[in-house]
Amino acid sequence: MPSGKLQLPIALDAMGGDNAPSCVLHGASQALIRHPGSKFLIFGNRYILEPLLHAIPNLKAASEIVHTEAVIAGDDKPSIAVRRGRNSSMWLAIESVKEGRACAIVSAGNTGALMAMSKLILRTLPGISRPAIAALFPTLRGECVVLDLGANVESDAQDLLKFAIMGDGFARAVLGLSRPRIGLLNVGSEDLKGRDNVKEARQLIESSGLDLNFYGFIEGNDIAEGTVDVVVTDGFTGNVALKTAEGVARLIRTYLRDAFANSFSAKIGGLLASAALGTVRNKLDDRQRNGAMFLGLNGIAVKSHGGADAFGFCNAISVAVELVAHHINERITQEIKLSTPPPIPGTQLDAIEGEAD
């Protein structure tokens, strides 16, 4: 199936995110140009959405509004959102994927609530007990996938093996790689270094018999160096690494801005080099890589950054389109099956836990 030609519409939580619903709608309008023939189910308040849609004819023609007045706030606790949010745009949008009325859901709303609802409504794929959040990171060689970015604060070796399988699928779908190199984030590249779960995961991956292009241990600096295409780590470490990187990028941007504003010759130099600096700014533009996927769920859920603008939200929709077009979940399910030993009576297997969940 060529990407951009989806059989089902994409469900949009129109009310989630700092700039909702305007950026959601304008982002979808841009996505229609990029992926002609797409359709959207837009969940939100029709009295707010209809006047806006009126001004975006291409989207109006390709979408349907599903009315709801309830909205999950950015600071709602996930546990409360799950209990009280059953009429919210977020819940109903996810449910439309579960019910086969949409092929994916995209939301810029509350991450914790989106994850909790997605787990509850979509359930995990067979053999997976913990979903992961995956996203792209810029590198010297292009981009890499990093997961988990915070769906879990602890991960055992089995979880890390499954993150490797899920990251592999994501890199094939979104980066178009045929054999993504997979690295396990550690504090040293030697076999003996690091945490027990990471060392055990290395053995599990190496002995899994799966067709994974496994590189071995990597360190923090290898992420931006592009040593591998898929960086596997627990959600605590991944979240800290991603946010530390964002902080450093912002720090350097500030240094540069201040430096170029500091003297007359620097200002002139900055003007002459403005195209070059623009290229750097583009490469560091978070919006280009907007769209964190919740991997391991029985349905495709993509989280846009809460502060995304229309361009950023459009990119999150593109991630959903690629994941659907590349049948990421079929691929992951297949690999997980191959990696999971057949159940032995009396033995508790992850596969059973996952299915019974």
Binding mask 288-327 for a second copy (x = CB under 8 A): ----------------------------------------
Selected binder of a second copy within 7, 100, 283, 342 (CB under 8 A): 283
What residues from 186 to 205 belong to the interface with a second copy (CB under 8 A)?
Answer: 187, 192, 194-195
Q: Is residue 252 at the binding interface for a second copy, with CB under 8 A as the rule? A: yes
Q: Which two tokens stand for residue 260?
A: 């170029």
Tell me how far, at minimum, the Cβ of 198 lies from a second copy, in Å: 8
Q: Is residue 272 at the binding interface for a second copy, with CB under 8 A as the rule? A: yes
Tell me how far, at minimum, the Cβ of 308 lies from a second copy, in Å: 17
* DSSP per-residue string spanning 174-191: HS--SS-EEEEE-S-SST
Q: Is residue 219 at the binding interface for a second copy, with CB under 8 A as the rule? A: yes
> Is the distance from CB of 27 to CB of 119 less than 8 angstroms?
no
Q: In a 3-state reduction of DSSP, which class is residue 58?
A: helix
Tell me how far, at minimum, the Cβ of 274 lies from a second copy, in Å: 8
Selected binder of a second copy within 5, 83, 179, 250 (CB under 8 A): 250
What residues from 153 to 172 belong to the interface with a second copy (CB under 8 A)?
Answer: 153-154
Q: Is residue 248 at the binding interface for a second copy, with CB under 8 A as the rule? A: yes
Residue whose pair of structure tokens reads 């229309």 in the numeric block: 310
Based on CB atoms, which residue is closest to a second copy, 224 or 352? 224
Selected binder of a second copy within 48, 210, 277, 352 (CB under 8 A): 277
Binding mask 113-152 for a second copy (x = CB under 8 A): -------------------------xxx---------x--
Q: Is residue 284 at the binding interface for a second copy, with CB under 8 A as the rule? A: yes
Tell me how far, at minimum, the Cβ of 41 lies from a second copy, in Å: 31
Selected binder of a second copy within 246, 330, 353, 357 (CB under 8 A): 246
Tell me how far apart the alpha carbons of residues 70 and 59 are, in angstroms, rounded to a whole number: 23
Q: Is 39 exposed, middle or buried (CB count within 10 Å of its CB: 0-12, 13-18, 19+)?
A: middle
Based on CB atoms, which residue is closest to a second copy, 237 or 333? 237
The distance of Cα 342 from the centroid of its chain, to the nearest Å, equals 31
Residue whose pair of structure tokens reads 């190496």 in the numeric block: 206
Taking CA atoms, 140 is separated from 176, 228, 290, 299, in Å, by 17, 11, 19, 32
> Is the distance from CB of 133 to CB of 112 less than 8 angstroms?
no
Selected binder of a second copy within 233, 315, 329, 340 (CB under 8 A): 233
Tell me how far, at minimum, the Cβ of 241 lies from a second copy, in Å: 4
Tell me how far apart the alpha carbons of residues 197 and 107 are, in angstroms, rounded to a whole number: 33
* DSSP per-residue string spanning 204-272: HHHTS----EEEEEE-HHHHHHTS-SEEE--HHHHHHHHHHHHHHHHHHHHHHHHHHTSSHHHHHHHHH
Tell me how far apart the alpha carbons of residues 283 and 274 are, in angstroms, rounded to a whole number: 14
Based on CB atoms, which residue is closest to a second copy, 5 or 195? 195
Q: Is residue 280 at the binding interface for a second copy, with CB under 8 A as the rule? A: yes
Per CB under 8 A, which region of 18-26, 220-228, 288-296, 329-337 contacts a second copy? Answer: 220-228
Taking CA atoms, 146 is separated from 101, 222, 293, in Å, by 30, 12, 11
Tell me how far apart the alpha carbons of residues 85 and 71 are, in angstroms, rounded to a whole number: 7
Binding mask 60-79 for a second copy (x = CB under 8 A): -----------------x--
Site residues (vs a second copy, CB under 8 A): 77, 138-140, 150, 153-154, 185, 187, 192, 194-195, 219-225, 233, 235-237, 239-252, 254-256, 259-260, 262-263, 265-266, 268-277, 279-280, 283-284
